[in-house]
Structure 1
């Protein structure tokens, strides 16, 4: 069975014009309604140093003269461990630990594990060589913890004592631990000695947006300000016909965590 031949041929098509080059700067006849810069906070450039005996831990990206290290939401903990290397060192481990402790007159004491991450920085089982005198590391903090089968936001460092309330004591704390394991004897492998360097740190996630909402003056109602920080919804409201009012809109803005 053959198909019928059309009475006329299809029109000829010419190639489309190329897409104009994009530029973030306005061209002739254009203007910027609103510009939202990236909300990037400056990263501190100082270091935090703690020495215990012949072992030194250096943490980067800290404020100058900080008493203890401070990290924000999903921050990267980077630094290095320096110590006198010898052929008896068999393992170097980094642990990040966090716990929430509550004590109340009704429920008693309770401890919840927030973070318990272990990272092996060096091991003679992985590398058949002598441990170096400097080991660098870089690990990221989690943003949530598991509680009752649900993921919840990691709470900030906190300490409060409420003597006149049912909850008497609440504390959430975090620490960085460096564990250096050395053999006591080259002939007996199970006689090991572990040295521990503990560094408490503050976990302070941002609790407010970087910038407030900019009230639009001459912009369109559909233009969304600071889109990377705020969720904006505009909904029309129902009004009775007898009110003889124009269109009424409600605008809801919520900060994006």
Structure 2
């Protein structure tokens, strides 16, 4: 089955300005969630402008070049000014900031809508502040950093859209909108008694992107040093090894051991390549018979790439029927969002070593997250799949290593809001099928 093509819209991240004070020492947490500064003396302020009937909305400092929608980060304040060209007859004005998560199951018809946030404020009321509405009104509503669905509390998830075509299938959407509601008194003939005076409502809705920023707590470590012993690599606590033994298919044959090394934190900026080391060790005869399936063959003929390192993203949706709440109804799709490239690093009598890096696709602009009934998670998959497995001297190789992607590099100067992400635990051999599965259960 061919891989599904990802339909993720490119979500820009809000701009930030380095803080003037020295960078504080990093805490021991694995990763930090960040908030961007919305104002800077060194950068001219930008604004998003939306015009409606008899009104103009100006949102301060949220227009990112090349985007059509305003963009906000973690805990940001939705600040703006409402300008009224005809304030006469207005009875009240209200502003609302709303976020929703919608999960819909195709075929079964199950739909779940979760309210993520609903912040509101009355900007002006005739009954409280007098008969004449000002021609300009300012407001500021702060976005929450988390929400609760009465069962669990989650970090406020980013703007997101995904679907799995076919039957069964699903659609998942996370949307955020600013609503401006203006109530007017209807113009009425003087012959009509005041008791029959009516009112009309005018509204202006502006979708916006919520894109919280994150960065790793540690930088990418230096590459492992080459050595003539210990399978060609000097060990380092900054790197973690994932070992797998491929059993021989030949009677009396030697097994082959793969050792896959990546930075120990397993937290990477999606703008940076992810480095890795890979070694295979066994008897000289077993390695020689395995050469046609190792990365060395793909360096000569890229089409014959049997050993692959891929970065996969799994989007999981659970729309549980109210009548059968105990029934597991997970559906998921898996997309390849990055691939590894190999270079031969060295070899010895009983080992061969490779070095390389994984580049994340340019259209990926957010990391994994978890919300009510929706989980987006990433993992690196090392695999060796021969065209004819029976002719391969060893059994297939498949290793799954969960990782976390962040929006910014460790070196980025941003404000630490002390929110923490942790990398999922490494799945067991029995769990690896479901970790990167595709379909529904």
Check whether TM > 0.5: yes
> TM-score w.r.t. structure 1 length?
0.64
Indicate conservation of the 8 Å contact 1:47/1:60, yes or no. Answer: yes
Q: Secondary structure at the match of 1:67?
A: coil
Asked if residue 89 in structure 1 is aligned to residue 90 in structure 2, the reply is yes
CA shift in 2, pair 1:65/1:89, >3 Å: farther
Work out whether residues 98 and 116 of structure 1, in 8 Å CA contact, stay in contact via their aligned partners in 2.
yes
User: Which position in structure 2 is the counterpart of 1:48?
Assistant: 48
CA 1:149–1:180: 2 relative to 1, 3 Å: same
Structure 1 stretches of 4+ moved >4 Å: 37-42, 164-167, 251-256
Is 1:192 the equivalent of 2:199? yes
What does the per-residue CA deviation read over 1:222-245, in whole Å, with 9 as the maximum and x for residues that have no partner?
Answer: xxxxxxxxxxxxxxxxxxxxxxxx
**Corresponding residue to 2:210 among 203, 206, 209:** 203
Shift in Å, 1:185: 3.8
Taking the aligned partners of 2:23 and 2:160, their CA distance within structure 1 comes to 37
Q: Aligned residue for 1:137?
A: 139
Question: Where does residue 74 of structure 1 map in the other structure?
Answer: 75
Offset, 1:52: 1.1
Offset at 1:84? 2.1
Q: Which runs of 5+ in 2 are unaligned?
A: 1-21, 27-33, 40-44, 189-193, 222-263, 268-417, 421-441
Specify the alignment match of 1:58 in structure 2.
58
Aligned mates of 1:73, 1:64 — CA distance in 2 = 19
Q: 1:164 to 1:83 in 2, by over 3 A?
A: same
1:155 is the counterpart of 2:157? yes
More helix by share: 2
Q: Is the 8 A contact 1:47 1:64 kept in 2?
A: no
CA distance in structure 1 between the aligned counterparts of 2:141 and 2:53, rounded to whole angstroms: 25
The whole-number CA distance in structure 1 between the counterparts of 2:38 and 2:216 is 15
| Inter-CA distance 184–109: structure 2 relative to 1 (3 Å threshold) | same
Q: How does 1:78-117 map to 2 (within 5 A)?
A: 78-105=79-106, 106=108, 108-117=110-119
Identify if the C-alpha distance between structure 1 residues 36 and 51 changes in structure 2 by more than 3 Å, giving closer, same or farther: same
Q: How many residues matched? A: 189
Asked whether the 8 Å contact 2:218–2:265 carries over to 1, the reply is: no
Partner of 1:132, secondary structure, is: coil
Give, in angstroms, the shift of residue 124 of structure 1.
1.0
Q: Which residue in the other structure is 2:173 paired with?
A: 171
CA apart distance, 1:252: 7.8
What's the TM-score once normalised by structure 2's chain length?
0.39
Structure 2 Cα separation of the partners of residues 126 and 107 of structure 1: 46
Q: Aligned ranges for residues 222-241 of structure 1 at < 5 Å?
A: none
**CA deviation string 1:40-88 (max 9, x = no partner):** 7453620000001221000001224531101011100111000124341
Larger deviation, residues 114-123 vs 169-178: 114-123
Shift of 1:163: 1.5
Aligned residue in 1 for 2:129: 127
Q: For the pair shown, which has the larger CA radius of gyration, 1 or 2?
A: 1
Question: For residues 200 and 57 of structure 2, what CA distance do their matches in structure 1 show?
Answer: 19
- Distance in 2 separating the partners of 1:84 and 1:148: 43
- Between stretches 74-83 and 186-195, larger displacement belongs to 186-195
Contact between 2:36 and 2:74, CA under 8 Å: does it hold in 1? no
**1:96, 1:116 within 8 Å by CA — same for their partners in 2?**
yes
Q: Is the 8 A contact 2:36 2:73 kept in 1?
A: no
Which aligned pairs between 1:25-40 and structure 2 lie closer than 5 A?
36=24
Distance (whole Å) between structure 2 residues aligned to residue 66 and residue 37 of structure 1: 34
